[in-house]
Structure 1
């Protein structure tokens, strides 16, 4: 009954952390066999025994629902990122930074954008010329060793970060084509792109990036939402279950 009362007091907190401890004062009410169930919010502790299955199941269901709601919000935020198909029209080594390339990238604007990327260690220069890429276009421009970089090339990397591949737009994509997370049918209902100031102030990239990975088929995704253009899915050439940044 004590655990039940605790549940009634705390259940309004949404996603919760459940923990059963044999050292707790409540351990006398619990069976010897215990289980720890861990969820998002560490500010709530709830002790449940195996005999309280209905309440435990309710809490698990509630927490999973809360996780799904969070991912919906993260997807909405992710779709305010201005991601576009780009084509590298020129590339050279940065004269002041050994690890950087400087690329001129056609993203469907009047002039190509200048973008710096730390890919020297991973991709030969000749493999970048005329390559179609994914560009994150609404970041604040950054001065990188004397060169103003206006955007970011998105890439997949394995956990060791020894292997890095640029994300590849689907066949038939053209520079400037919009990229988003979800299905092709969702294109007409996408939110407006955030301004660079909003991206920085709301830390949208920091919110979204930890959830970006390739799947078992090298398809880029945000959780279960595929990264797509009107032509199909964005992918990595060979990296499976890889981080995207």
Structure 2
């Protein structure tokens, strides 16, 4: 049997009052309050889990909608091209048909169709030119590729990871370039060439935790091959700061976006220019938090990535 509030049986309440007549009521009230708080905490955690699940499902639905929209636009463009350049259907006049019992024309003779004048050589040349123009418009002779759906450029395609700079030195051929050895949780460190401010001190770089874009194609910068991209933020006065991962991060931790779930590319295709299309949407907000279209850079279970002191600036 439970009490009217559904928390404790009457026997337990009676036992507490018997053991401690003076404070039994207070002890019982304390237990009731603790039980109610525990129940409310469990309900709150369940609602938070449901909310996160809904956000993940919304992200997937958004991705599917974008893909379907691209496919629909592609079909509409192809249909428009066919409607513009396809020749009109030719209607055959009954008077132009040849009777089955009519003798064949001799070689070199032309058929005289009632109501139609003979075609001149100049008209034939113009007709052939129009046909070639139609074929070129369909993408065969001009070298232009056929219309295709624009590839999806979403932020989950970026392989962003936490790294630790183990050594740094200035580039011998450029005063604004720095060469760093960065540990990103792999068997060997990566060489990263980055453009920082002229006032950057080497002592500040050594041992610093940074955010790296790891799936860019390796490129040579002033004779040194760079194997990743170091993310910085800068404002209109050309002040540059390194983007800082949350406290407790370790080399190799993934930087993710809650509203954009998905696995990154093994290597970003250079032809799609994914970074160039996403970079204008990478910002530091008024709180100093790095975000993509309002969704924060997050190391799961550890916190958000921030700028040390800058706000309302771009990430590059």
**Match of residue 189, structure 2, among 98, 104, 112:** 112
Matched, 1:195 2:257: no
Moved over 6 A (4+): none
Tell me, in whole angstroms, the C-alpha distance in 2 between the residues paired with 1:115 and 1:211: 23
Match of 2:292 in 1: 222
Matched, 1:167 2:243: yes
Tell me, in whole angstroms, the C-alpha distance in 2 between the residues paired with 1:202 and 1:120: 29
Larger radius of gyration: 2
Give the deviation of 1:197 after TM superposition.
4.5
Tell me, in whole angstroms, the C-alpha distance in 2 between the residues paired with 1:123 and 1:117: 12
Question: Matched residue of 1:180: which SS?
Answer: coil
Match of 1:78 in 2: 155
RMSD of aligned Cα (Å): 1.7
Tell me, in whole angstroms, the C-alpha distance in 1 between the residues paired with 2:219 and 2:165: 19
Q: Which has the higher strand share?
A: 1
Matched, 1:180 2:256: yes
Show structure 1 runs of 5+ residues with no match.
1-13, 15-72
The verdict on how the C-alpha distance between 1:238 and 1:202 changes in structure 2, with shifts beyond 3 A counting, is same
Aligned residues: 165
The verdict on how the C-alpha distance between 1:195 and 1:213 changes in structure 2, with shifts beyond 3 A counting, is same
Matched, 1:135 2:231: no
Give the deviation of 1:224 after TM superposition.
1.3
Give the deviation of 1:145 after TM superposition.
1.2
Tell me, in whole angstroms, the C-alpha distance in 2 between the residues paired with 1:226 and 1:170: 12
Q: Which has the higher helix share?
A: 2
The verdict on how the C-alpha distance between 1:130 and 1:159 changes in structure 2, with shifts beyond 3 A counting, is same
Contact 1:117–1:152 (Cα < 8 Å) also in 2: yes
Tell me, in whole angstroms, the C-alpha distance in 2 between the residues paired with 1:197 and 1:126: 32
Tell me, in whole angstroms, the C-alpha distance in 2 between the residues paired with 1:164 and 1:238: 10
Match of 2:226 in 1: 149
Tell me, in whole angstroms, the C-alpha distance in 2 between the residues paired with 1:120 and 1:163: 7
The verdict on how the C-alpha distance between 1:111 and 1:118 changes in structure 2, with shifts beyond 3 A counting, is same
Give the deviation of 1:219 after TM superposition.
0.2
Give the deviation of 1:122 after TM superposition.
4.1
Tell me, in whole angstroms, the C-alpha distance in 2 between the residues paired with 1:217 and 1:88: 26
Give the deviation of 1:201 after TM superposition.
2.2
Tell me, in whole angstroms, the C-alpha distance in 2 between the residues paired with 1:82 and 1:226: 15
Tell me, in whole angstroms, the C-alpha distance in 2 between the residues paired with 1:181 and 1:124: 31
Tell me, in whole angstroms, the C-alpha distance in 2 between the residues paired with 1:154 and 1:110: 22
Tell me, in whole angstroms, the C-alpha distance in 2 between the residues paired with 1:158 and 1:143: 27
Contact 1:98–1:120 (Cα < 8 Å) also in 2: no
Give the deviation of 1:208 after TM superposition.
0.8
Tell me, in whole angstroms, the C-alpha distance in 1 between the residues paired with 2:199 and 2:271: 32
Tell me, in whole angstroms, the C-alpha distance in 2 between the residues paired with 1:102 and 1:139: 17
TM-score, structure 1 length as denominator?
Answer: 0.64
TM-score, structure 2 length as denominator?
Answer: 0.50
The verdict on how the C-alpha distance between 1:193 and 1:239 changes in structure 2, with shifts beyond 3 A counting, is same
Tell me, in whole angstroms, the C-alpha distance in 2 between the residues paired with 1:191 and 1:223: 17
Show structure 2 runs of 5+ residues with no match.
1-68, 70-151
